[in-house]
Chain A
Amino acid sequence: MSTLEIKNLSHSYIKNKTVLTNIDLEIKEGEILSILGPSGCGKTTLLRIIAGLEKETNGSIQINNKIVSDYLHTIPTEKRNVGLVVQERALFPHLTIIKNVMFGLNNSKKENIDTAMNILKLFRVDRYAHNFPHEISSGEQQRVAIARAMAPKPKILLMDEPFGTLDQSLTVQLRIETKKILKDNNTTSIIVSHDIDDALAMSDRVIVLENGMIKQSGVAKDITHLSKEKAVKIQ
């Protein structure tokens, strides 16, 4: 069963200047997809359109076989049940770590605390539950940001350059841990990155965007041969 289905999606901010052209994409439940491409190719825009933060010019988006956006309908972001992780992390600075994670939960307070603590344990940041974001390291902040996005059990987890500001060794470690957690929880995910290593390490499938169009698509190991010169170009 496909969790996300995008049909013939196009987008332009200014008339006659298309950012995305005729994107067709399908993601199965539990699949991790990476979108690769150079800066300005439209990958972040595609992610924002899936989240409902931008409205596409043409095309349609279905999540769990339900149309969330087309020419006639637009379901707002808050009702799409998607999770978002951004490069800047965007943790709420006035809330403690646990309150950040509890923010998207709607159950009783005790259940929310239990859920939040469990997910913080998964990401090994539970000992910072009562700290503020500025009191922990950037790697720990990124773990919290992913934990917060996963806590409400979103249908799709959207990650925009999730490891972009972290150092290499931390990135490698976080990739392994995050992939394991995503797979263990069967979380459908889309990772936007300009780093080919992110894509290869994390995803089941990779698409390459160039000038707003899908240039290549395939399982990660095939894209390994997506050619060295392409990889260089992307980076």
Chain B
Amino acid sequence: MRSFNLTFWHTTPFLLFILFVTPVAIVLFSLIGTYNDNWSHLYNHVLFLYISNSIYLVIGVGIIVSIIGTSTAWLVTNHDFTGKNFFEWALILPLAVPPYILAYTFTGLFDTFGTANNLVRDIFNLGRDFTLFPKVRNVPGAIIVFSFTLYPYVYLVSRMAFINQSRSIIEAGRTLGLNKTQVFFRLGIPMIRPALIAGVMLVLMETLSDFGAVDHFAISTFTTGIFRTWYGLYDIDTAMQLASCLLLFVIIFLVIERYSRRKATYSNSMSVFRPIKINKLNGINNASAFLACFIPIFIGFVLPVMELTYWALNYKLDFFNYKFITTAWNTLSLAFLAAVLTTILALLINFSTRYKKNKLLANMSSFLTVGYAVPGLILAIGIMQFLTFIDRALTIEFFNLALTGSLVGLVFAYVIKSYALSNSALESGYHRINHKIDDVSRTLKSSGWSMLTYIHSPLLKTSLLTSLLLVFSEVIKELPATLVLRPFNFDTLAVYTYIFAAEERMFDAAAPSIAIVAVGLIPIIILTRIIRNSRPASREI
């Protein structure tokens, strides 16, 4: 009989799979529970609205982030124009602004008596009835909010893929009669399709699981429905059943994404990599490129920061106190811990899948990304129930220790929620490593840990840094799971902001909001500079 050796590379993903899946399974099991009157009410009156609004959001956001993310990444990677060096890193600044904060500032700016309309009336001496800017508390408004805060996900993965495209391929296209625009549409985009799909899928999952922005705009989606059912009707079972429906939606997205990605695997032979030639833009092209990169940053970052600063300066200047420093420290440490842990786990699982070439492992790895789309509060409930079970069965009995209410649950939630981000960055990185490199390194007696440490990790440096950056930024902004799972008397900046925002005290929430944005900026600036310098084969690792 043929032997099958169960190794670390088989068992680790399997154990992680069980750990990741259990809280989600707890939520999904609600589908086979009893359906009460609240469910019938939702089903008969609002479920279709939740579905249609979610679909509008997903289509609108998907199209806009694809356009902004790929075009800006192509411009800054392959062209030289005014402000290019600034845009390279500044284009990811909106990552530091959570959609709910942009939503708050948008209403502050564009409501009938918001800052922008007031300014126009004052300048042109117009009457109170005049409004220049349309209302934003609607689906198109939400599409704009999500698109301009989330496009950096697409920008980052597209840029990483463009950086790694070999100049020879672009030159081959030019010699075959393609002009610069055709090179972008017929070579640039098709070649980065796996990365692009991965980035867009992340944005869509984020859109579907957001609560803050859609709630502020009073748009009925699955998440607002879940929250209303929970907090309004105090019906956790129906809320979990709604969450399960949302989860099924996400699984369909994932299956489509995996299928299309499997149909097109692109890998560069790193040995023949030639860095891309930068084209200098002049005149109208230079101005157009500048505007194409400036507008997303202006809407997604400059505008909200200006409005928040205006509010903060006018209403609250004494926020920089001991409480604030403690809260900022808590946020930074948690984010760092979660980013490192998530990246290590994603690396181990991606390596196992590739190294063992096992279909089951690949399917498990795909499934782990579903956690990202699970609304934070529902995930938190799943984790709480899971930890309560472990506490009762194990930790209290044998170690006199309770995991419930500790940082374990919180980090656990962050890892599950951010795993898709990390996985996406690493998967894209792995797509670009030729499998022949693995074959050759095995014949050179390098396998398992040695291959991971000395071959894959250096080649994945850009992807690993991207993963750290994405998770770090995500954790700083995370709110609902933190609210439920944080230990007693343990605040993060997001919780701090929420407490004021929940009472519509946005002027008070402005200062901690700026702090979230500012703290989120530090790793973005540092890590993007490292990414810029880490083209493959550019220097010794």
Contact = CB atoms under 8 A, between A and B. Distances in A.
B352 to A, nearest CB: 16
Interface string A48-89: 100111000000000000000001101011111011101011
A88 B271 contact: yes
A134 B271 contact: yes
30 contacts: A48-B439, A51-B442, A78-B444, A82-B443, A83-B443, A84-B440, A86-B440, A88-B269, A88-B434, A89-B271, A90-B269, A90-B434, A92-B437, A93-B270, A93-B271, A93-B537, A94-B458, A94-B541, A96-B540, A103-B444, A104-B444, A104-B445, A132-B537, A134-B272, A134-B274, A141-B271, A141-B272, A148-B444, A149-B444, A154-B443
A169 interface: no
A22 interface: no
Interface in B1-41: 1-3
Interface residues of B, number: 29
Contacts of A80: 443
A106 interface: yes
Contact of A92 (B1, B2, B455): B455
B327 interface: no
Given A93-B459, A94-B541, A152 B272 contact: no
B537 A94 contact: yes
Nearest to A86: B436
A133 interface: yes
Contacts, number: 101
B440 A134 contact: no
B536 A93 contact: yes
A138 interface: yes
A100 to B, nearest CB: 9
Contact of B540 (A77, A86, A94): A94
Minimum-distance CB pairs A-B, first 5: A104-B444, A93-B270, A77-B442, A93-B537, A84-B443
Interface of A: 48, 51-53, 71-72, 74, 76-80, 82-84, 86, 88-96, 103-104, 106, 132-134, 138, 141, 148-149, 152, 154, 158
Given A89-B269, A93-B459, A94-B541, A78 B447 contact: yes
Nearest to B450: A78
B439 A84 contact: yes
B491 to A, nearest CB: 42
A88 B436 contact: yes
Most chain A Cβ neighbours within 10 Å, of B1, B273, B441, B536: B441
Contacts of A132: 537, 540
A78 B540 CA distance: 25
Contacts of A74: 3
A86 B439 contact: yes
A51 B269 contact: no
B385 interface: no
Nearest to A102: B444
B446 interface: yes
A149 B272 contact: no
B102 to A, nearest CB: 39
Contacts of A148: 440, 444
B205 to A, nearest CB: 32
A80 B442 CA distance: 10
B540 to A, nearest CB: 6
Most chain B Cβ neighbours within 10 Å, of A71, A74, A86, A106: A86
B443 A149 contact: yes
Q: Secondary structure at chain A's binding surface: helix, strand, loop or mixed? A: loop
Contacts of A134: 271-274, 537
Given A48-B439, A92-B441, A149-B440, 15 more contacts: A51-B442, A71-B2, A72-B3, A77-B447, A80-B443, A84-B439, A88-B434, A90-B437, A93-B537, A103-B444, A103-B454, A104-B443, A104-B444, A133-B271, A141-B271
B404 to A, nearest CB: 44
B456 to A, nearest CB: 10
A180 B442 CA distance: 26
A121 to B, nearest CB: 20
Interface in B417-441: 434, 436-437, 439-441
Nearest to B442: A77
B439 A103 contact: no
A152 B541 contact: no
B459 A91 contact: no
Contacts of A79: 445
A1 B112 CA distance: 92
A137 B302 CA distance: 47
A158 B540 CA distance: 29
Nearest to A85: B440
B271 A94 contact: no
Nearest to B459: A94
B271 A91 contact: yes
Contacts of B273: 93, 134
B180 to A, nearest CB: 24
Nearest to B273: A134
Contacts of B537: 93-94, 132-134
Contacts of B447: 76-78
Nearest to A101: B444
B452 to A, nearest CB: 13
A104 B270 CA distance: 19
B115 to A, nearest CB: 51
B534 to A, nearest CB: 10
Interface in B257-284: 269-274
Given A88-B436, A90-B437, A152 B274 contact: no
Most chain B Cβ neighbours within 10 Å, of A82, A94, A148: A94
Contacts of A93: 270-271, 273, 459, 536-537
Interface in B277-293: none
